[in-house]
Structure 1
């Protein structure tokens, strides 16, 4: 459902530039004009087909697995919790960007990357030793990928030389870990046990 909505809204926004502009994450407009809906709508639009494809590709493979886990952890409410988790991830991932860029009228961002990062990191909490394949070739355990991804996001955010909102990726991932920690703390015990078993 989330994928279908994201595709539909992205396709419509590409046809209507005014819609795309009105839904983009603009910290300045949120701050000056109280256009708070942008916190959520920005997670359902994308810059182009490639941007949309790679976000939804990652979301499908990690999200399907995580949705199944939520159905076990929250019997009868797993689907609802999953949707709330995803929407909160979009919001939380953009909050640091908002506070940093709220007086910058030139800054804009869009895409579901922050929420997708939350889904990936939440999934890694349950399966830390499963391999994640970079570029479909290099497979590395999830917990190592999470560490490298965090380091990369921090480094690139500090440089600020490209047009990618690395801050949203970072805080989206951290939100995924925090959500699992608060809703099922015992996951950390299993997380460590799986890593120790792999190393042992």
Structure 2
């Protein structure tokens, strides 16, 4: 990885400052976390503020590390201003999908930048779908075998897992926020970089398949 861009530093700093404020101030944490009941009472700021709070330092570290890994790829393609729009738009899209899926669960709460980070990840994949991704702590090759996974396969697999996680409610994880963030990253990137419809229409369609699958499953009442 190269030198961190200033916009990435600002976003990471904001997450660290707000999260650490929440770690030490329970009232602050409760006031600004994502909570269905509070949002439906009109506290819309939680749709935004919850994306900068985290449950603990491990949660914060992994989200910021993932942002560090993928931010430069998107920044290189779209620039700082568009990157910021993708990040914030994905954050809000993730929380909007969570609100939609849990709208009648008034005690449902969540925190974290996962939706925003997943949006950046899906944007990076859309912009460079063939780029290989490698597992941490494993060598890139074993003999003549390249262990890299093409981005579009990683992206589709991740969203399929998110659908499964939503259906089965696996773990204390906001799978719907992850999925919504990816949708936000996908759509906003297409709006900002419309030439993708001409230069890589096949991958635009392929990466839309999990999104269409979720729509079909939701319409059929299976999720």
Please classify the TM superposition score into its range, dividing by the shorter chain length.
0.7 to 0.9
Offset of residue 103 of structure 1 = 2.6
- Cα-to-partner distance string for 1:167-200 (whole Å, 9 max, x where unaligned): 1111111211111222222224444689xxxxxx
State the shift of 1:100 in Å: 2.4
- 8 Å contact from structure 2 (residues 87, 185) kept in 1: no
**Structure 2: segments with no counterpart, 5+ residues:** 1-9, 139-146, 204-223
Whole-Å separation in 1 of the counterparts to 2:46 and 2:137: 33
Residue number in structure 2 paired with 1:143: 152
Distance 1:146 1:70 in 2: 19
Q: Secondary structure at the match of 1:67?
A: helix
Q: Is the 8 A contact 1:125 1:191 kept in 2?
A: no
Distance in 2 between residues matched to 1:144 and 1:23, nearest whole Å: 36
- Ranges in structure 1 where 5+ consecutive residues have no aligned partner: 72-78, 195-200
TM-score (norm 1): 0.86
Q: Identify the residue that residue 52 of structure 1 maps to in structure 2.
A: 60
RMSD (Å), alpha carbons: 1.8
Q: Pairwise mapping of residues 1-200 of structure 1 onto structure 2 (< 5 A)?
A: 1-31=10-40, 33-71=41-79, 79-137=80-138, 139-191=148-200
Structure 1 position 135, deviation (Å): 4.3
Contact 2:95/2:115 (<8 A) preserved: yes
- SS in structure 2 opposite 1:54? helix
**What CA distance in whole angstroms lies between the structure 2 residues aligned with 1:8 and 1:159?**
34
Change (3 A) 1:51 1:107: same
Q: Secondary structure at the match of 1:35?
A: coil
Cα distance in structure 2, aligned partners of 1:187 and 1:113 = 25
TM-score by length of 2: 0.77
